[in-house]
Amino acid sequence: SMERGKTGVPRVAVLWRRTIDAIREYQSAKPHESEYVFVSQTGAPFTDNHVSRNFCKRRDAAGLPKTLQFAHIRDGAYSAAYNAPGIGEKDAKALAGHRSGMTDHYVTRTPAVVAAACAAIERHYFGVTAGPVVPESPT
């Protein structure tokens, strides 16, 4: 969980098992001492600007139109959660970091509140889900 810098509203998610496995594989192949998952060759954490530029470079190399934006990944995931059967509007909004009426304290301390929405996104894009890995709530 984290607060969105733009709005200060909490954004919370749980990772899919496939994501955890991919991060572990990446960390084994490219070990570093940073607290951040993705870092530059100098060890500085990647920012959203780094990721967006890299996306554009790969998009252009693939010959895809410039109308395809990195933000579409986020928007598509939000839509998949929002439109999934059984997922409430509040759950999708908590995942996206939009105001939902839930208290900020509750959302950031309980990532399990968005577990079903995260599983719905995985089902939408991969057809199956092993389910998100829900951390224990802090005491």
- For residue range 67-88, list pLDDT tens digits in order: 999 989 889 999 999 999 988 7
Confidence band for 121, pLDDT divided at 50, 70 and 90? very high
Q: Where are the alpha helices (DSSP H) in 43-103?
A: 48-61, 71-83, 89-96
Confidence band for 135, pLDDT divided at 50, 70 and 90? low
In this model, does residue 9 exceed pLDDT 60? yes
Of 78-82, 97-101, 103-107, the range with the lowest mean pLDDT is 103-107
pTM of the predicted structure, to 2 decimals: 0.78
Closest CA to 38 of 56, 57, 19: 19
